[in-house]
Chain A
Amino acid sequence: MFSISVNDATLSLGRAAQKRQVLKGVNLQVQRGSLHMLLGPNGCGKSTLLRVLGGLLQLDGGGVEADAPSGFVFQNPDHQVVMPTVAADVAFGLGRYRLREAQVAAAVERALTLVNMAEFTHRATHTLSGGQRQRPTRRRFLRALAEEPRVLLLDELTTFLDVEDQFGVLRAVRDVTRTGARGRGVTAVWVTHRFEELEYADAASYMEDGRIVFTGSPDQLRQRLRGMGATL
């Protein structure tokens, strides 16, 4: 039924004197096996909500129920790099499992070959150029999939991509939600600013000032946005 259920979630961020309420009673239900998009103006709390779903932030009030495990992909590829060399970094996510070194090496080689980065396997991560760092974006969520997550949390994944790559990634995520890594449906929550990406969504929510003010089909959201004066 629902893969994610958020009930009256509240959260304030910042130090005591400058504490600001970022989530002001969020309610959200996401169907299992769907691609759910989260839209809204800058600073409305989209990414914060995603971080709550990923377990990176603890709520002040309300509750969250979500399928586990989840895979999180950040907006900036630089922010996801943990290890000093490329191969070890790709393998980092598999560290929670006990696998044979040969298995891990094969998986890493496969993943890097898919993005034409096999020759960079042993390069230091910080020596990659901007373009080389962005190349794995298409695969970053697949790398997350290698760990068989039930929920994918994707924070403006296409920000640094050109149009062709942007829609390629969208199609891949949609396929994953339908078929999953092993035929099991995966739920994806996709935070975006781009209205044209709605075409790929199964459902969408619109956030404003720390609240979800609308949830419905992509067509319903488009109508609402047109009503607000957006040209779509």
Chain B
Amino acid sequence: MPAGNPKAAASGKKQQEKLPLQQRILNGILNVSNVPYSSFVPYPVTPLHRVDAQIKQLWLVALYILIARATPWLRVGIAGCVAALTMLTLPPRLWEAQLKRLSLICGLIFVFTAIGADGVPPLLQARALPNAAEGLPGLSPAAPYSYVILNLWVITITRRSVNLAVTAAALTFCALQSASLCLVTTPGEEMATALQRWLAPLRLLRVPTQRIGVTLLLSLRFMSLVFEEVRNLCLGLAARGVDWRAQGGRGSIEIFARLLVRLFANLFSRSENIAQAMVVRGFLGPEQHHLYMMRVNASSPLANAAALAALAGLAAAVASLR
């Protein structure tokens, strides 16, 4: 279709609109890149690639705690910093679609939380004031403060609901995006090794840290398998050219249910294949098998120091602005 032809573009759009919902879902899955969300990208080597995996994990944990303890505006600021870091360090092809989707999800979380958190009256409400509120001086009528920010028909947005919405959206954004940033710039093997190092003291308590590390690695491998199987099954379904209109709602649900059953069967089969491959390749158990992690990028002391300094700065900012 010629890109500059508005008539053809309009007819293409019309055709797209005519597609049944089931077909559009299928197309949506097939149009997603065949590289799963947050899989390791070795090139280009960014400063984040040079930061040690242990420090990245420290950052991940610290972010969750700091966001929970920060003021609402600081939460938004932290989320903005994570987004800016993503855009500055990674090439656009890696973050554009990802940030759009994540922003949409977080936007929806914000809207629904803001509307729902304080808009619906609770079924059980204490009728008496709490003791702490007794004897407080009343607000003067001229004070600009108002607990209810917006009251439109059934929609009520209050300061509390906005605060909760900001927290939920910022926490979701930071949790998903920082984990993604970490996985895109760190191979799974290094993440597993770093986790094992953090857990090393627990060996004294006989915690099977090796087993936990291997399990993490296999989970990372399994994530890509799930993605691959979903795509393969959808591709098979698309190739059959199912007439979704003729199938109707019930028929479509049946087809998707069968697809789900097949997905689980295939995943179990793939898991068995991997387990057999491990056995024939000499795996004797997590304690006996030495995993050679094949380090990708040697971590740079400068990058590590910068990452730790930035973390300390953020912690100080959160502590002072509380």
| Chain A interface residues toward B at CB < 8 A | 51, 54-56, 69-72, 74, 76, 78-85, 87-88, 91-99, 101, 104-105, 108, 121-127, 144, 147, 153
Contacts and interface: CB of A to CB of B under 8 A. Distances in A.
B306 to A, nearest CB: 23
A99 B292 contact: yes
A143 B35 CA distance: 27
A196 B80 CA distance: 64
Contacts of A96: 282-284, 288-290
Nearest to A98: B290
8 contacts: A82-B281, A85-B189, A88-B187, A92-B281, A124-B40, A126-B224, A127-B35, A127-B39
Interface stretch (B173-181, B238-246, B271-279): B271-279
Given A71-B280, A84-B189, A95 B221 contact: no
A104 to B, nearest CB: 4
Contacts of B40: 84-85, 122, 124
A29 B294 CA distance: 41
B278 A82 contact: yes
Interface string B210-234: 0000000110110011011000000
Given A91-B292, A99-B290, A104-B294, 14 more contacts: A55-B280, A71-B280, A74-B276, A79-B274, A79-B276, A82-B281, A83-B189, A85-B296, A91-B294, A96-B289, A104-B292, A105-B294, A124-B187, A144-B281
7 A-B pairs closest in CB distance: A72-B280, A126-B224, A84-B188, A87-B294, A91-B292, A79-B273, A122-B42
A80 B277 contact: yes
Contacts of B289: 95-96
B187 A85 contact: yes
A85 B274 CA distance: 15
B292 A84 contact: no
Nearest to A129: B34
Nearest to A96: B282
Contacts of A69: 282
B189 A97 contact: no
Contacts of A56: 276, 279-280
Given A69-B282, A96-B284, A88 B277 contact: no
Given A88-B291, A93-B282, A83 B277 contact: no
